[in-house]
Chains A and B, each alone.
Chain A
Amino acid sequence: MSHILNGKNILVIKPEPGRPLNPIIETKTKTIIKETKSEIDINAIAQAVVKAMGGRNFSNNNVNDDFTGSNSMERMADIMSNISNKDGSNIDKIGIIKETKRDEKETNNTIDLLSQLGD
């Protein structure tokens, strides 16, 4: 049911017994949503998401994504998994090696069992 109250168009819902009337006022919500949508800064969202997910500067990677599709995360993961070359680093030979003896037969049995399983 629709009424005019103080010059505004309102929708009146029949109140439950004992509850006050709570009119729902029709506003210009639709217009506001339209204005907000046109102000979306896709790169800002990209930067924020990337920061939240492990931080990496995407400014040179031409992020062209409106974050509405299901592949957005995949694309971002792909960009983040790039391998970089850093001059001035010296970590080619890092790592401590430790060998552990194992029965060859026993581990081969496990490999046989596992190769019968799915992924």
Chain B
Amino acid sequence: MSEKKEVESELKPGVSVDVGTSFLVTSRQKKDGTFVNKFYRNCLLPMDINDESTDLLERSNYFHIKTKDQYFVVGEDAISLVSAIGKGEVVRCMRDGFLNPDLSSSSDLLFDILSSLVGKPIIEGENLRFSIPASPIDRDVDNVFHKMVLQGFFTKLGYDAKPINEAMAVGFNDNPIMKGSDGQEVPLTGIAISFGAGMQNLVLLFRGMSLMEFSCTKSGDHIDEMVSKVTGVSKDKVIRIKERSLNLDKIDDSDRVSVALGIYYDELISRVIHNISNKFKEKKGEVDGMIEIVVAGGTSLPLGFCKRFEDKVMKSDIPFKIYRVRHSQAPFFAVSQGACLRAQSDYKKALGNRA
């Protein structure tokens, strides 16, 4: 048996794709429970087709896509190349959680990258779940078209594809608990939040069902942009500091980038809590117990994020009791892993229907 076939035989049917603004992640699960996550940065560096660029790409190992009139260097290689040549700007196939309308052929390029990442179905009509954001409350756009385009694409690859709300997927991966007034623990009940690069997505779950869901723009990318503006430091450098050394528990007061990051993280957390409170009050709902909040996503990765969120949420006017705030056990892969569990449940259901 070839190595690839051997690996495939260890995997359970049911695959997922987290179509994020900043990263694309796919997940499958092995029979022993281990998740196999594959990810890549979702960005591109456009280059004109000429002798110089053709020569550069032929001599290097940079991953790239060739279209009719341009090269696009893909992912980490795009960022490395910009740093190396000191010019050019990376572009994204996605913006604020949706296909980027400013980039011509954004869907075309995104699909090239996605089809390489996810590969072919391991069984005929394999179940696939892809993440979509909830419609945002602060932007006049909905997710209908975005969902249709992605569903069409994965179906054409041979999958039985369905969308899944990004925050629901976090909930399925991390299983928030409600402690009922009678002392019983209710599974898959609580709040799940995904802090992505383009958006925050949030859901209030009750026994695995969504009671309330929404998204807001101005997330991680917005923080990078604002910090870069107020400090005059390039966005690339701000991202490096944020991803490598930021500790929200111990902000270095002598470093203006860290101070500014701390301020904008505070603003983001306060805004999310304010939105949860308002939306829940609009619903006029009641929660019979104390609920847990689980947080995930790339923007939640800096040390101290969860504690800062918990401090603020406990002092807020949210109209229900919070038991605790918990960081996902795999913050970066939570959306994709949760969606993978959902895809496997689809497969199980389909098997049951056939029997």
Q: Which residues of A are at the interface with B, using a C-beta cutoff of 8 A?
A: 51-57, 73-74, 76-78, 80-84, 86-108, 110-115, 117, 119
**Assembled-state Cα–Cα distance A119/B168 (Å):** 12
A77 in contact with B104 given A99-B35, A107-B29 (CB within 8 Å): no
B328 CB to nearest A CB, Å? 11
Most buried by B among A51, A54, A105, A117: A54
Q: Which of B258-317 contact A (CB under 8 A)?
A: none
Contact between B113 and A81, CB atoms less than 8 A apart: no
Contact between A91 and B116, CB atoms less than 8 A apart: yes
Supplied contacts A91-B116, A107-B33, 16 more A-B pairs, CB within 8 Å = A52-B101, A53-B99, A54-B100, A55-B104, A57-B105, A73-B144, A81-B107, A81-B153, A84-B108, A91-B112, A99-B34, A100-B35, A100-B330, A102-B33, A107-B29, A114-B341
Contacts of A89 in B (CB 8 A): 64-66, 112
Closest 9 CB pairs of A and B: A81-B152, A104-B33, A88-B66, A77-B148, A114-B345, A54-B99, A81-B153, A115-B345, A95-B38
Contacts of B63 in A (CB 8 A): 90-91, 94
**Assembled-state Cα–Cα distance A113/B38 (Å):** 26
Contact between A56 and B105, CB atoms less than 8 A apart: yes
Contacts of B108 in A (CB 8 A): 56, 84
A114 CB to nearest B CB, Å? 4
Give the secondary structure class of B's interface: mixed
Contacts of A102 in B (CB 8 A): 29, 33-35, 337
Contact between A100 and B348, CB atoms less than 8 A apart: no
A110 in contact with B341 given A73-B145, A77-B152, A81-B111 (CB within 8 Å): yes
A83 in contact with B111 given A94-B75, A114-B172 (CB within 8 Å): yes
**What class of interface size applies to chain B in its complex with A?**
35 or more
Say yes or no for B195: interface residue by CB 8 A criterion: no
**Contact digits for B39-83, partner A, Cβ 8 Å, 1 yes 0 no:** 110000000000000000000000111110000001100000000
A55 in contact with B101 given A74-B148, A83-B156, A91-B64 (CB within 8 Å): yes
**Assembled-state Cα–Cα distance A84/B113 (Å):** 11
A114 in contact with B342 given A94-B63, A96-B38, A99-B35 (CB within 8 Å): yes
Say yes or no for B233: interface residue by CB 8 A criterion: no
A96 in contact with B40 given A54-B99, A83-B156 (CB within 8 Å): yes
Contact between A54 and B106, CB atoms less than 8 A apart: yes
Closest to A103 in B: B33
Q: Which of B215-250 contact A (CB under 8 A)?
A: none
Closest to A104 in B: B33
Contact between A95 and B157, CB atoms less than 8 A apart: no
Contacts of B145 in A (CB 8 A): 53, 73, 76-77
A107 CB to nearest B CB, Å? 6
Contact between B38 and A90, CB atoms less than 8 A apart: no
**Contact digits for B145-157, partner A, Cβ 8 Å, 1 yes 0 no:** 1001111110111
Contacts of A103 in B (CB 8 A): 33
Q: Give the contacting residue for B149; candidates A77, A96, A97, A98; CB below 8 A.
A: A77
